[in-house]
Copies of this chain bind each other. A is one copy, B any other.
C-alpha cells in the first residue's frame, strides 16, 4: 500500500488522494428502559460478531454498527439510522452524536475511526419479524452488565462513555422521555429517571421540573391496574431535549 506524506506547509492543502485511508465506521449505542423480571432496567443493544476466524473478535459481543457505505449513506447520521433500523426496525429514534474514536490500534485490520451515535428508543415490541431477524445475533443487555463485558474493539470504552453521557445529561435534561412509549404518565417517567440515575427522586420536585420545562403536551388519561388514573403526556418536539435550569441534587 503506497502512502505519501502530507508535507508540513500544505496541511490539508494539496490533495493527497492516494494517501492511505483509515477505515471509517459508525457504531450505535441504543438504550431503552424495559421491564425485565418485573423490575425496569436500562438496557443496551449488542450484536454478536460472526464466528469466523478471519474476522476480528469472532463471536464477541459488539455495538451494532459497521462500515460507512459511500453509495448508500449520504451522511454519518444516515448511516447510524440505517444500522439501527437494520437491527431493531426503529425508524425515527432520538439520535445524538456521542463522539468519535480513532487510532492505529483499535482495529487489527488497520487504522480505523468510528463515529459513535447515542440512540434513545422506546422498548421495541417483540413481534415475529423482529424476533426472526435478531434471534441469535442481537440482544438487549442490562447496560451496566454490558459495560463490564469484554466487548469487541474498544466498544467497552465507547459504551462506558455513552453511559456517562446519558447519566450526566439525565441530571439536567428531558432525555429519559425518549426512552418510553407515548403517551406516558408522569409517575412512569419518574420511574425511568430513577432507573437511569439509580436513585429515587422526590415526586413533588420532579413534577414541578417536568411541567415547568414546557416540553410536554397533554394527551389522554391513562388508567393503571389500581388507583387513580393519571394524565398521559407526549413530547412536544421529538428532535431535541429540553435543558432544565439546574441539576437534580445540585449540592449532593
Interface of A toward B, CB cutoff 8 Å: 3, 5-6, 8-17, 19-25, 47, 49-50, 52, 54-56, 62, 64-71, 73-76, 83, 86-87, 97, 99-105, 109-111, 113, 115, 137, 245-247, 250-251
Contact = CB atoms under 8 A, between A and B. Distances in A.
B113 A68 contact: yes
B25 A22 contact: no
Contact of A250 (B20, B22, B104, B246): B246
A112 to B, nearest CB: 9
Oligomeric state, in number of copies? 2
A14 B17 CA distance: 26
Contact of A15 (B24, B55, B68, B70): B55
A65 B12 CA distance: 6
B12 A71 contact: no
Nearest to A107: B15
25 contacts: A5-B71, A6-B66, A6-B67, A6-B69, A12-B47, A12-B62, A12-B66, A13-B49, A13-B50, A13-B66, A15-B54, A15-B109, A19-B67, A20-B70, A21-B22, A24-B24, A24-B113, A68-B111, A68-B113, A70-B111, A74-B103, A74-B105, A75-B102, A76-B101, A245-B251
